[in-house]
């Protein structure tokens, strides 16, 4: 899936529900897993910022999914809810469902 690169000015005011942080963008497996999560989160109607350059545009995100080589080796991703100071490793397979569940806790 082709994603377009957005400039900082284009992101101004954008407040994603989910920040999908790719901590090792050169790793193909991480990129592929992130692309799948991105599509599934979007299909659930969530606004998602795909960050593979580690910018600060996602600071306002309600949830953050961190994908790293270490976490994916264990079949997991890190899920964070900054406003509730909640952090947990979740399986890659359950990441979308758990993210939606945690976002519903914010309502």
Q: Is residue 87 assigned to a domain?
A: yes
Which of 4-8, 59-63, 68-72, 96-100 has the lowest average pLDDT? 4-8
For residue 90, give its domain range: 14-106
What pLDDT does residue 4 have? 46
What's the predicted TM-score (pTM) here?
Answer: 0.77
Question: Which residue's structure tokens are 């592929």?
Answer: 32
Say how many domains are in the chain: 1
Closest CA to 22 of 62, 60, 74, 58: 58
Give the integer Cα–Cα distance in Å for 20 and 12.
Answer: 17
CATH code for position 102: 3.40.50.800
Give the integer Cα–Cα distance in Å for 32 and 80.
Answer: 21
Give the integer Cα–Cα distance in Å for 89 and 35.
Answer: 19
pLDDT in tens, 2-61: 444 444 444 455 578 899 988 888 889 999 999 999 999 999 999 998 887 665 555 678
Q: Is residue 4 assigned to a domain?
A: no
Q: Is residue 5 assigned to a domain?
A: no
Give the integer Cα–Cα distance in Å for 35 and 41.
Answer: 10
Length of the chain measured in residues: 107
Q: Is residue 33 assigned to a domain?
A: yes
């Amino acid at each position: 899936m082709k994603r377009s690169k957005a400039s900082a000015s284009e992101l101004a005011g954008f407040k994603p529900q989910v920040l999908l942080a790719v901590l090792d963008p050169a790793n193909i497996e991480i990129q592929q897993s992130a692309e799948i999560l991105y599509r599934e989160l979007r299909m659930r109607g969530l606004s998602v910022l795909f960050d593979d350059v580690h910018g600060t545009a996602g600071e306002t995100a309600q949830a953050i999914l961190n994908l790293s080589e270490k976490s994916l080796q264990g079949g997991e991703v890190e899920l964070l809810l900054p406003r509730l100071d909640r952090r947990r490793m979740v399986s890659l397979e359950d990441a979308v469902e758990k993210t939606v569940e945690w976002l519903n806790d914010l309502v």
